[in-house]
Amino acid sequence: MKFKNKTCILLLTGIFWVVSSCKKFVDINADPNNPTTAQLSLLLPSTQISLVGNMYQLNSGTSTFVQHTIYTTGQSRFQQQGTDFNNSWDGFYSQTLNDIEAIITTGTSQQQWGYVSIAELEKAYLYSLMVDMWGDIPYMQAEQGQANGSPALESGAAIYEKLLVLIDAGIANANKVSATTLVPATSDVFYAGNKNSWISMANSLKLKLYNQIRKVDPARSATAIKAIISSGAPLINTNALDFTFKFGSSQNPNNRHPWHRADYQAGKTFYTSQSWTDLLLNSDDPRLRYYIFRQNATAGLNNSSNSNGYYGRNPGDGTAAPADQSRRSTFGIYPAGGLYDNAPINSLTAANLYLTNTGATGSVKVVSVTDGTGAGVMPLITNAMVKFIRAEAALTLGTGDDARQNLSDAVTANLNSISTYAASNGGIVMPAATVTGFVNRLLTRYDAANADGKLNIVMTQKYIALYGNGMEVYNDYRRTGLPVLRTPLSPLNTFPLRLYYSQTELSANTIFGTNGSAIQIAQQTTPVFWNK
């Protein structure tokens, strides 16, 4: 596959790596099936850093589609461009997947099964995500280097089947390693080489994929999910096992969370989505103080000065941005590593039980690069997510699992995860009584709801818990239509059912032919195979 050069991404993993098409530390041939001798201990963390580093456009764009934030006005109005996801697509193929294939090839020849296992699981995760985003994509022919600059597209359904086999291969290769660690701790950014953690991730990924395709073949998904749960196969079942990337706090080179880098400066990239802020505020949700930080105590929608400081932008608002960089709400302590908002909120009333002004002795401020640590997180597959998946499957597939208990465990896990993170990064611990009370109130609503209402509660809480991972929320929304999102003010298109292909790929890959515009239009309106 042919790609343009990209700007290098710098991130911290104990030592600094420069990754992208301008890699300095690890070079392989154009043909990954015949690599030079790869130093697996260096190449593996490079794949993990580039996997997350190349998600910036993808995560920010999908987060905009589902109204978690507003990255660009066009995307907020459902308008896509061929360059919107160029860097993500090109980076995944020319960098992350290229290096993963090198690990699998070299690791297999050297019988380094720990490296092979991790690389296979990363490959399965990333390709499943790319199918979810783009639908039909290059797979078997994608990593042939200069031997094939125009790899064929394969159907998303066919790729999913191969990925389910690949996950089992990854588990089998992990079990070839008798030690408790698959690779040295310094070679694995995610789990420090821990074998059980990777196997838990593998089973959780499999659970996620079967739930994702539940509308294609409900009986198959139900049987598979029941088997995973009843077998006692290890899953991500504690927050300590979360498949999460942790960013650094350095400014030079800058390895902070990309949302912190984008907004903790004078010139800001994002608006907070007003619908997102309103949902949390109106739900008396204590996570609001962790998710959003106010720069002004009385700023409001349309740059007013008589509100509560939660100044964002309504989805689909196409008006020009005023001079409001120092008044907008911005990212909070979680997940971007910004500031915890401990200032009084003037619109709260006595009816608020969990989002209150008790102990709110802080103040708002205009943020700068020195505020917060920037050492944020990218939640990929978490304990809370696994519990939400189990709850959804129980409600929709009749798996026999306890949907209510899984909902309770999922929200509790998410609240505790945010609280623990905040306590280590300059924030405030969420009181145990707040966690318990909030969850119990939610369960009371759940008990009173009908079947549709129960699913709505599960998916809405998952939507809130997955802040920071717009890609999974984008999947959930297309699969379930939940939660109900605010109607955009002036949309320019229908809600995108797939992402536009990289313009670089359309231009270089002859498989697409000459009518790239028609292909992109079809992407907007064609469901992914599992979106029945």
Report the distance separating Cα 188 and Cα 185, nearest Å.
6
Is the separation of the CB atoms in 260 and 291 below 8 Å? no
Residue 510 lies in a domain: yes
Q: Which two tokens stand for residue 49?
A: 């850093």
Q: What is the pLDDT of residue 217?
A: 97
Tell me, what amino acid is at 438? Answer: F
Q: What is the pLDDT of residue 149?
A: 79
Q: Which two tokens stand for residue 48?
A: 């993990």
Residues 6+ apart with CB under 8 A from 464: 279, 280, 285, 287, 414
Report the distance separating Cα 53 and Cα 9, nearest Å.
7
Q: Which of 164, 119, 67, 83 is nearest to 470 (CA)?
A: 67
Strand partners, 500: none
Residue 219 lies in a domain: no
What's the rounded mean pLDDT across residues 48-72? 98
Report the distance separating Cα 63 and Cα 467, nearest Å.
8
The model's confidence at residue 4, banded by pLDDT at 50, 70 and 90, is very low
Q: What is the pLDDT of residue 30?
A: 42
Residue 261 lies in a domain: no
Mean pLDDT of the chain: 93
Q: What is the pLDDT of residue 72?
A: 97
Cis peptide before 527 (omega within 30 of 0): no
Report the distance separating Cα 58 and Cα 47, nearest Å.
17
Q: Is the dihedral of CA 378, 382, 388, 389 positive or negative?
A: positive
Residue 385 lies in a domain: no
Structural domains of the chain, count: 1
Strand partners, 379: 244
Q: Can you point out the beta strands (E) in 228-340?
A: 243-246, 271-272, 292-293, 330-331
What is the percent of the chain with per-residue pLDDT over 90, rounded to a whole number? 89
Residue-wise pLDDT tens digits, 223-275: 999 999 999 999 999 999 999 999 999 999 999 999 999 999 999 999 999 99
Q: Which two tokens stand for residue 288?
A: 């609001």
What is the residue range of 171's domain? 9-193+500-525
Residue-wise pLDDT tens digits, 416-457: 999 999 999 999 999 999 999 999 999 999 999 999 999 999
Alpha-helical regions (H) of 231-351: 258-263, 274-282, 288-291
What's the rounded mean pLDDT across residues 31-35? 46
Q: What is the pLDDT of residue 204?
A: 98
What's the rounded mean pLDDT across residues 369-395? 98
Residue-wise pLDDT tens digits, 265-303: 999 999 999 999 999 999 999 999 999 999 999 999 999
Strand partners, 69: 272
The model's confidence at residue 193, banded by pLDDT at 50, 70 and 90, is very high
| Start-to-end C-alpha separation, the chain | 31
Report the distance separating Cα 207 and Cα 236, nearest Å.
11
Q: Which two tokens stand for residue 40?
A: 């697996």
Q: For the domain that residue 130 is a member of, what is the CATH number?
A: 1.25.40
Residue 403 lies in a domain: no
Report the distance separating Cα 23 and Cα 449, nearest Å.
54
Q: Report which of residues 521 and 142 the model is more confident about.
A: 521
Residue 319 lies in a domain: no
Look up the pTM and report it: 0.93
